[in-house]
A and B are shown apart, each in its own frame.
Chain A
Amino acid sequence: DTAVSQTPKYLVTQMGNDKSIKCEQNLGHDTMYWYKQDSKKFLKIMFSYNNKELIINETVPNRFSPKSPDKAHLNLHINSLELGDSAVYFCASSPGQVLYGYTFGSGTRLTVV
């Protein structure tokens, strides 16, 4: 059983479209995250939810909107996609303190053309 699963794995779409990425974790963790990894492998946090409550909202365009329907799910909706949004988006979860480490999903590779 995959601990943190993201769908889709690959997403190719045109500029201006709206798309969603879904994430589910079966680890019983309280906290979930969205990270963006650019072409140079740099990972940057976007959002974090703890028990469905938004606790981290970094400087991210308003076009990005997370939604956590329950503790095990965290989705990311992106409006009006731009070329610069092309990246790999990782969902992750942790039991609480990050000292115990994140468990990452395998990523969603988004390409905007």
Chain B
Amino acid sequence: QKEVEQDPGPLSVPEGAIVSLNCTYSNSAFQYFMWYRQYSRKGPELLMYTYSSGNKEDGRFTAQVDKSSKYISLFIRDSQPSDSATYLCAMSVPNNDYKLSFGAGTTVTVRA
């Protein structure tokens, strides 16, 4: 069993819809949580990060962390065709700050 589980999709939604992505994890030592976005043939880029339970909002993006359930989510409101990409969750433990454990990534297509 992988440390971080993420449904690879693919997920296809119409423009303007809310995209909901999530990851579960097994290592309760994970304290830092991140979401990366990866466009086709490009490297991943950091979208959001958080280190506590609760919600964090940045424009159309909201990240949620529920440590008691070992579950994190990313919501994209008013989705645009430019949001079409693969979204990867990532997490790390505080005393191993150099290593990120990634989910498998969910491929999202937003249809115009």
Chain A residues with a Cβ under 8 A of chain B: 4, 31, 33, 40-45, 48, 50, 55-56, 90, 92, 94, 96-107
Contact = CB atoms under 8 A, between A and B. Distances in A.
B109 interface: no
Interface of B: 8, 32, 34, 38, 41-46, 49, 51, 86, 88, 92, 97-100, 102, 104-105, 107
B102 A44 contact: yes
Contacts of A4: 43
Given A41-B86, A99-B32, A99-B92, A105 B43 contact: yes
Contacts, number: 66
A48 B101 CA distance: 13
Nearest to B100: A98
A102 B42 contact: no
Contacts of B86: 41
A99 B98 contact: no
A50 B96 CA distance: 13
Given A99-B49, A104-B43, A104-B45, A45 B100 contact: yes
